[in-house]
Amino acid sequence: MEQRRIREIEEILLNAFPSVDREIYDGWILNFSGGYTYRANCIYPFYASSYNLEEKVQHCEEQYRELFLPAIYKMTDAVPKELDDLLESQGYAIAKYVDVLYRSLKDWEISECTDLDHDYELITMTQLDDEWLDGANELIGIPYPSLEKIQKKIFHCIRLPLICVKIKHGDQVVGTGLGVMERHYIGLYAIHVHKDYRRQGLAFKICSTIMSRGKLMGADKAHLQVRRGNEGALLMYEKLGLKKIYTQWFRMKSWPESKKIFD
């Protein structure tokens, strides 16, 4: 895929999922969020840089090690291969691959999810509420209250138009999804369904609702990130017409004192 489109989508992803703290260092974006997710705690070599690469890598290692975090780099084909080769030679192993999926919405037929079982209630909102946030925390399985606070802070930092979706079974939130709108793209995030309620089409209904509402708001493109190996999710996204357009990979170096990343 052409680098221009990769950079466009990656810039949108940066805006849609802010980190708690962020620093710019000679064109690299350093994200810090206390260990909640790779993408919110990574170094992203996004813009052109001029400093010596080995010195930059050493500086970043010191920054993250002081915070008891591993040093993680988010890489794409838009990042110079020279850096990827250097990181590999310095012991940065690939921690995970993430595929970015995309589809045009020009031929997407707008529809509302009216065929849910009567035991379920699908609710859409234009802003996050505490029930959505607490439900997402529960579905993700965040292990510590400190990480729950970080997760909520990240979501509250989003300054773009939102489409928030939750599915309830009685008083329990059993599914969540979030759409973030920017530059005629609707991005799909936080698609989670309780393990006891999967394989009932709930995730499909959440995603199709976000895409339909996004098109009504002016979106003509949709994108989504999915961890490689999540075959069940990939099959569902393929039914929605979402196809892989490029891959992100995260290279990581950690130390004995480093926090474990919750992702």
> CA torsion 91→73→103→236, rounded to 10°?
60
Query: Does some domain include residue 225?
Result: no
Please check whether residue 262 lies inside any domain of the structure.
no
Same domain, 92 and 52: yes
Q: Is the pLDDT of residue 113 over 80?
A: no
Pair (158, 207) in one structural domain: yes
170 domain residue, yes or no: yes
Contacts of 221 (CB under 8 A, 6+ apart): 102, 103, 104, 105, 184, 185, 186
- Assess whether 128 and 90 both reside in one domain: no
Q: Do both 92 and 111 map to the same domain? A: no
pLDDT for res 115? 66
Domain match, 82 and 57 both = yes
112 and 213 both lie in a single domain: yes
**Could you report the per-residue pLDDT of 205-257, keeping only the tens digit for each?**
999 999 999 999 999 999 999 999 999 899 999 999 999 999 999 999 999 99
| Alpha carbons 174 and 75: distance in angstroms, whole number | 33
In-domain check, residue 234? no
Mean pLDDT, residues 96-103 taken together:
97
User: Which residues form the domain of 193?
Assistant: 107-219
Query: The pTM is what?
Result: 0.94
Within a domain: 141: yes
- Number of structural domains (the chain) is 2
Note whether 119 and 193 are same-domain residues.
yes
Give the model's confidence band at 114: pLDDT under 50 very low, under 70 low, under 90 confident, else very high: low
208 within 8 A of 113, measured Cβ to Cβ: yes
Question: What sign does the dihedral 208-212-213-218 (CA atoms) show?
Answer: positive
Same domain assignment for residues 154 and 193: yes
Q: Are residues 23 and 84 in the same domain?
A: yes
Which CATH number goes with the domain that contains 215? 3.40.630.30
Q: Are 70 and 258 in contact (CB under 8 A)?
A: yes
Task: For residue 176, name the pLDDT band (cuts at 50, 70, 90).
Answer: very high
Determine the average pLDDT of the residues in 194-198.
95
HEC secondary structure over the chain: CCHHHHHHHHHHHHHHCCCCEEEEECCEEEEECCCECCHHHCEECCCCCCCCHHHHHHHHHHHHHHCCCCEEEEECCCCCHHHHHHHHHCCCEEEEEEEEEEEECCCCCCCCCCCCCCCEEEEEECCCCHHHHHHHHHHHCCCCHHHHHHHHHHHHCCCCCEEEEEEEECCEEEEEEEEEEECCEEEEEEEEECHHHCCCCHHHHHHHHHHHHHHHCCCCEEEEEEECCCHHHHHHHHHCCCEEEEEEEEEEECCCCCCCCEC
How confident is the model at residue 1, as a pLDDT? 64
Q: Is residue 112 very low, low, confident or very high in pLDDT (cuts 50, 70, 90)? A: low
Check: CB of residue 211 under 8 Å from CB of residue 57.
no
Q: What is the dihedral angle through the alpha carbons of 256, 39, 75, 181, rounded to the nearest 10 degrees?
A: 180
pLDDT of residue 2: 83
77 and 111 both lie in a single domain? no
What values do phi and psi take at 90, rounded to 5? -100, 15
Q: Do both 11 and 94 map to the same domain?
A: yes
Say if residue 166 is in the same domain as residue 90.
Answer: no
Q: Is residue 136 part of a domain?
A: yes
> Is 193 part of any domain?
yes
Q: Is residue 228 part of a domain?
A: no
Mean pLDDT of the chain: 95
